[in-house]
Amino acid sequence: MGRKGVFFVISFLLAAAGLSLFASGVDHSKFAELNRSFSKPEDVTAACLKCHNNVASDIMKTNHWLWTRKTDKMPGREGKTVDVGKKNVINNFCIAVTSNEPRCTSCHIGYGWKDGKFDFTDQNKIDCIVCHDTTGTYEKFPTGAGYPVAKDTVFPASKKLFKKPDYKKIATTVGKPGKQTCGSCHFYGGGGHAVKHGALDKSLLDPSKEIDVHMSKDGGGMACIDCHVSENHDIKGQLYTVSVENKDRISCERCHTRYPHTQTLFVENQPDRSYDIFKNRLYKREKPVDNFTHRVLDKHTEKIACQTCHIKFYSTKFKTKTWWDWSKAGEKTPEGKPKVVKDDEGYPVYDGMKGEFKLAKNAEPEYFWFNGQSDKILVGDKIDPDKRPLQINRITGECGGADSKIWPFKVMRGKQLYDPENKTLVIPKLFGPKGSGAYWSDWDWLKASETGMREAGVPFSGKLDWIETEMYWPLTHLVTPSENAVSCDDCHSRKGRLNNVQACWIPGRDRSLVLDILGYLLVAGSFAGVIVHGTMRHVSSKKRKED
């Protein structure tokens, strides 16, 4: 072997060692670059990027960073490029990000998005550790535009103490995102814990099998990223309040196959594929029985989403908001503070800052046909105020339609502001200091709306009214063990769960009323006929005997 050969072998071995190091996880505490004190979070990012030098450009393409999602495939507006990202859509919780940045962007994976001038190309503003912290101690401040606190601070609304992060400890122990890191934002959407999704809350951190069979340590023991896989930091998964296309969705079929009731898990059938790490953590399922009922269930998957039967209730442990009426906001206590009314479990049902709420726990989903697409009322869109409730996102799909299946939904309902003259939904400025026009400081909807609409660049007539709105949230978390799934009778009955699902034919629910009436008349007529005939025979034979 010549010198070249030796060099080749050594390089190969080094490369292999490097790769195996990567695969087994790197001990970041060995790196001097991280084993030092950091004064501000951007310094941590700079240290990360020294080695992970391609990651910043990947991150900057993702929805987690941009909060935009450009598409030309929105139903009803195909061919026209629109942006349906978080930054640009309206909802019926806190309405919109625009003009409320420092509050909303406390969940942005960046530092300092406090207004419309945030620099999305500054790579040091990426917050690496909000996803990669493994200590569970890193927290962004609720009104800090994505920053954690620089010194220990109490958040006045919840009276919770936020501590200055121990950056050295966090940086030297970074790892894969866990449930805790994903949950630090995704469990708190809508301004508080469990408020928004109806199936994303703290109960997923250590759930029983009955709450979530995949994420329970007695079940699959899986984390968020086991399904929400990523490529170059782009994480799979769609939510149809900020998505409109049928793409990048995560499917149950990926592991459970297209015939989940008669087949074993896909990974169990792939001994030659490198699913070993995954496999060891899998809930040891018995091979499903291949009988008539199971084949019927397999056939159901053509028209019914897995979630429809396997998520019997949403928000099983914590209450989620299902109604938010902003028109009731504004009441104050005699001391001049926003009035707060809580129910007997401590959940707010009224808040002077936000209005009236209705909450639900262990709630039955609503069901609709859904083909993986939805349209959306975008900022500045003309609305039809006579159509009430107004659907902010309208999921599409129909019986027999391509990719259409019956899906379970949490439907969020509420009342919010609109401009009756321009016929647009209003983006009010809610959060900001006194004098900024923010509703939560100045208590004037007109000022809040003027400010918000100005920042959003949407014309505002100065007129305001309330409109009832709806939002559709497909449910896909909180999958229960199969024995807790929805039963046949839950849907195949006259007063079942699918009573309001349009069209198609559900045996046990549907009938032809005309046929039923004719049928019962025929049966009743036959009965009456034989009774009359029999009586006449009896009477006439008696008579004959008497004669």
The contacts of residue 59 (CB under 8 Å, 6+ apart) are 65, 109, 123, 126, 233
Q: Which stretch binds other proteins (CB under 8 A): 58-66, 160-168, 223-231, 535-543?
A: 535-543
Q: Round to whole Å and give the CA distance between 229 and 244.
A: 20
Q: Which stretch binds other proteins (CB under 8 A): 186-194, 376-384, 417-425, 524-532?
A: 524-532
Q: Kindly indicate which of the ranges 263-271, 332-340, 477-485, 513-521 contains the residues binding other proteins, using the contact rule CB under 8 A.
A: 513-521
Q: How far is the CB of 249 from other proteins (least distance, A)?
A: 23
Cβ proximity to other proteins, 295 vs 317, nearer residue: 295
Q: Are 143 and 103 a contacting pair, CB within 8 Å? A: yes
Q: Could you say whether residue 494 binds other proteins (CB under 8 A)?
A: yes
User: What residue type is 478 in one-letter code?
Assistant: L
Show Cβ contacts of residue 387 under 8 Å, excluding neighbours closer than 6 positions: none
Q: With beta carbons less than 8 A apart as the criterion, state whether 122 and 104 touch.
A: no
Element (H, E) at 18: helix 3-24
Q: Judged by CB under 8 A, which stretch of 57-65, 103-111, 373-381, 511-519 contacts other proteins?
A: 511-519
Per CB under 8 A, the list member of 17, 296, 358, 502 interacting with other proteins is 296
Looking at 292, 384, 387, 500, which residue binds other proteins (CB under 8 A)?
A: 292
Determine if 511 is a binding residue for other proteins (CB under 8 A). yes
With CB under 8 A as the contact rule, which of the stretches 213-221, 237-245, 447-455, 492-500 interacts with other proteins?
492-500
Three-state secondary structure call for residue 118? coil
User: Looking up tokens 């509050």, which residue turns up?
Assistant: 103
Least distance in angstroms from the C-beta of 496 to other proteins: 9
Q: How many residues in the shown chain lie near other proteins by CB under 8 A?
A: 43
In the list 9, 21, 154, 536, the residue contacting other proteins (rule: CB under 8 A) is 536
Stretch that binds other proteins, among 123-131, 148-156, 346-354, 491-499 (CB under 8 A): 491-499
Among 299, 318, 77, 88, residue whose Cα is nearest residue 195: 318
Near other proteins by CB under 8 A: residue from 487, 499, 502, 542: 487
What's the rounded Cα separation, in Å, for the pair 320 and 364? Answer: 12
Q: Please list, in sequence order, all residues whose beta carbon lies within 8 angstroms of the beta carbon of residue 474, skipping any fewer than 6 positions away.
A: 239, 240, 307, 370, 395, 407, 408, 409
Q: If DSSP states are collapsed to H, E and C, what string results for 494-523?
A: CCCCCCCCCCCCCCCCCCCHHHHHHHHHHH
DSSP tag of 262 = T
Determine, following the binding rule CB under 8 A, whether residue 515 of this chain makes contact with other proteins: yes
The 3 state secondary structure assigned to 200-241 is CCHHHCCCCCCCCCCCCCCCCCCCHHHHCCEECCEECCCCCC
Q: How many Cα neighbours within 13 Å face the side chain of 171?
A: 25
Task: Note whether 106 and 142 are within 8 A (CB).
Answer: yes
Q: Is 532 in the site for other proteins (CB under 8 A)?
A: no
Output 293 or 461, the one with its CB closest to other proteins: 293
Which of 19/296 has CB closer to other proteins? 296
161 or 296: whose CB is closer to other proteins? 296
With beta carbons less than 8 A apart as the criterion, state whether 331 and 348 touch. Answer: no
Q: Which is nearer to other proteins, 13 or 503 (CB)?
A: 503
Q: What's at 206, amino acid-wise?
A: D
Which of 33, 461, 510, 542: binder of other proteins (CB under 8 A)? 510
State yes or no: residue 493 binds other proteins (CB under 8 A): yes
Please identify, using beta-carbon distances, which residue of 187 and 370 lies nearer to other proteins: 370
Residues in contact with other proteins, shown as a per-residue x/- string from 383 to 402 under the rule CB under 8 A: ----------------xx--
Max Cα distance, the chain (Å): 133
Min dist CB 286 to other proteins, Å, is 20
CB of 523 to other proteins, least distance (A): 5
Binds other proteins by CB under 8 A, chosen from 42, 295, 308, 387: 295
Nearer to other proteins among residue 81 and residue 540 (C-beta) = 540
CB of 510 to other proteins, least distance (A): 7
| Contact status: 534 vs other proteins (CB under 8 A) | yes
Which member of 157, 363, 485, 488 binds other proteins (CB under 8 A)? 488
Residues in 187-246 that interact with other proteins by CB under 8 A: none
d(CA 437, CA 416): 18
19 belongs to the binding site for other proteins (CB under 8 A): no
Stretch near other proteins under the rule CB under 8 A, chosen from 32-40, 86-94, 198-206, 482-490? 482-490
Q: Taking contact as CB under 8 A, which single stretch among the options 291-299, 346-354, 355-363, 416-424 is the one that binds other proteins?
A: 291-299
312 within 8 A of 320, measured Cβ to Cβ: no
Q: Rounded to the nearest 5°, which phi and psi values hold at 532? A: -65, -45
Q: What is the 3-state secondary structure (H, E, C) of 269-301?
A: HCCCCCCHHHHHCCCCCCCCCCCHHHHHHHHHC
Q: Which stretch binds other proteins (CB under 8 A): 318-326, 352-360, 416-424, 517-525?
A: 517-525
139 binds other proteins (CB under 8 A): no
Residues recorded for the chain: 547
Where along the sequence are the contacts to other proteins (CB under 8 A)?
292-293, 295-296, 298-299, 302, 399-400, 487-489, 492-494, 503-505, 507-512, 515-516, 518-520, 522-523, 525-527, 529-530, 533-534, 536-537, 540-541, 544
